[in-house]
Amino acid sequence: MIDELDRLSGSDLYPFHMPGHKRQRTGTWLDEAYIHDITEIDDFDDLQEPEGVIAETEKKLADYYGADRAFISVNGSTCGNLSTISALVPHGGSFMMDRNSHKSVYNASCLGEYRISFLERETIRENKLTACISLDMVKLKLSQAKKDNDLPKAVLVTSPTYEGFIADTDGIADAVHAYGIPLILDSAHGAHLPVSKKADIAVISLHKTLPAMTQVSAVLVNGSLVKPDEVKRYINIFQTTSPSYVLMASAENCLNIMNDKGQKLKKTLEERLDGVYSLNESLRSLHITGPEHIGRYGIYDFDRSKINIIDRTGKMDGRKIYDIFRNEYHLQPERHTERTCLMMSGVMDTEEGFTRLRQAITDIDKKL
């Protein structure tokens, strides 16, 4: 798709079609996007019924994640969640969902007027972060639902969490499948990690943690409990009929990068993360929290690229740590919670960025 768009921009094919900017330069940095931005003209396929260049990118997506089918969403995982839940749970149906869900899951439930049962997760005492949905919680809630003769049409679990806690997704998938029910994983924060192939559906935001542009997400479908065409029907309902080729091309670009040099990039990231987490040995007040909770609170694994910083002395709350990183060190955190500040890292980070982060952490700790 990237090459085809580039060929088109250099060709003499005049655009008597949308978009209104007519692929003209505007004299700003946006111009590379403008001259490559088209609508669904001949040879450029149709996101609603892809058979050409878009189908090729979706096939590349499925291959990368080892999924049976993959669908692009240019409306983020928000559209992925709305579509997959609506496809699986009929209007007024029973739906079992993670209480710590993104608003798109709640919105799908409102639109569908579902009867909801909540899966609850614990809060980690030391850092007040929400942990994971445990396998036991899923088993308990499903056996209760069975007793009440009200098994849900689908179960949705968020994993990884924003802060990087990963649930036992394979175990949960087995437990849900034991009742013949499909599992939806909201893995919006896990596009850079291996995605459970046992989950019937995984919704991933490529844009959050991989080199794809904002809004670019995907829905991965596996197994025989879910009909991919039904999922696609709902994606077409919720998604724009004017998808941006710049965004779709960025999905392909992201996959090309990860296919060509993903292993090397991931190795470099791991080495850099070793450097960050090893700071814990010398830090006296600050602490980089996360991995120590594996094995408790339903936490099966941890994504170290989510660098959660806490002041163990309690002098600084999450907001204060956030402000110091931003105002004094010009490092923009992703967000803060009550006690922690989240610095999100990824395969596209630079050595300079990591060096500045390590220095800032050490320096703030010294001052404390």
By the rule CB under 6 A, 47 interacts with ligand PLP: no
By the rule CB under 6 A, 349 interacts with ligand PLP: no
By the rule CB under 6 A, 337 interacts with ligand PLP: no
Q: Which residues, other chains included, contact 23 with Cβ-Cβ below 8 Å and sequence gap of 6+?
A: 9, 15, 34, 35, 36, 37, 38
Out of 64, 71, 162, 234, point to the residue binding ligand PLP (CB under 6 A): 162
- Judged by DSSP in three states, 55 sits in helix
Give min distance, CB of 144 to ligand PLP, in A: 25
By the rule CB under 6 A, 78 interacts with ligand PLP: yes
* Measured distance CA(96)–CA(118) in Å, rounded: 6
Write the Ramachandran bin of 303: left for phi over 0, alpha for psi from -120 to 50, otherwise beta: beta
* Measured distance CA(190)–CA(183) in Å, rounded: 16
Residue with smaller CB distance to ligand PLP, 86 or 158: 158
Give min distance, CB of 60 to ligand PLP, in A: 19
**Residues of this chain, 100-159, that bind ligand PLP according to CB under 6 A:** 102, 104, 158
By the rule CB under 6 A, 217 interacts with ligand PLP: yes
Contact window for ligand PLP (CB under 6 A) among 46-54, 77-85, 175-183, 334-342: 77-85
Residue with smaller CB distance to ligand PLP, 163 or 200: 163
What's 14's DSSP letter? -
Out of 77, 94, 109, 337, point to the residue binding ligand PLP (CB under 6 A): 77
Q: 19: burial class by Cβ within 10 Å (0-12, 13-18, 19+)? A: middle
Residue with smaller CB distance to ligand PLP, 65 or 162: 162
Residue with smaller CB distance to ligand PLP, 308 or 361: 308
Residue with smaller CB distance to ligand PLP, 104 or 222: 104
* Measured distance CA(288)–CA(304) in Å, rounded: 10
Q: State the number of binding residues for ligand PLP (CB under 6 A).
A: 13
* Measured distance CA(254)–CA(122) in Å, rounded: 35
Give min distance, CB of 24 to ligand PLP, in A: 30
Give all strands (DSSP E) within the chain, no chain letters.
69-73, 94-98, 115-119, 154-158, 165-166, 183-186, 201-205, 217-221, 286-289, 301-302, 306-311, 335-336, 340-344
Give min distance, CB of 72 to ligand PLP, in A: 12
Residue with smaller CB distance to ligand PLP, 216 or 324: 216
Give min distance, CB of 207 to ligand PLP, in A: 6
Give min distance, CB of 194 to ligand PLP, in A: 18
Give min distance, CB of 77 to ligand PLP, in A: 3
95 in Cβ contact with 114 (< 8 Å):
yes
Out of 33, 35, 71, 76, point to the residue binding ligand PLP (CB under 6 A): 76
Backbone dihedral angles phi then psi of residue 288, each to the nearest 5 degrees: -95, 110
Greatest distance between any 2 Cα atoms in the chain:
68
39 token code pair: 């609508």
Contact window for ligand PLP (CB under 6 A) among 71-79, 146-154, 320-328, 348-356: 71-79
Write the Ramachandran bin of 17: left for phi over 0, alpha for psi from -120 to 50, otherwise beta: beta
By the rule CB under 6 A, 209 interacts with ligand PLP: no
**Residues of this chain, 179-208, that bind ligand PLP according to CB under 6 A:** 186, 188-189, 205
Residue with smaller CB distance to ligand PLP, 76 or 152: 76
Which candidate, 89, 249, 229, places its Cα nearest to that of 97? 89
What's 20's DSSP letter? T
List beta partners, residue 97.
118, 156
By CB under 6 A, name the binding residues for ligand PLP: 76-78, 81, 102, 104, 158, 162, 186, 188-189, 205, 217
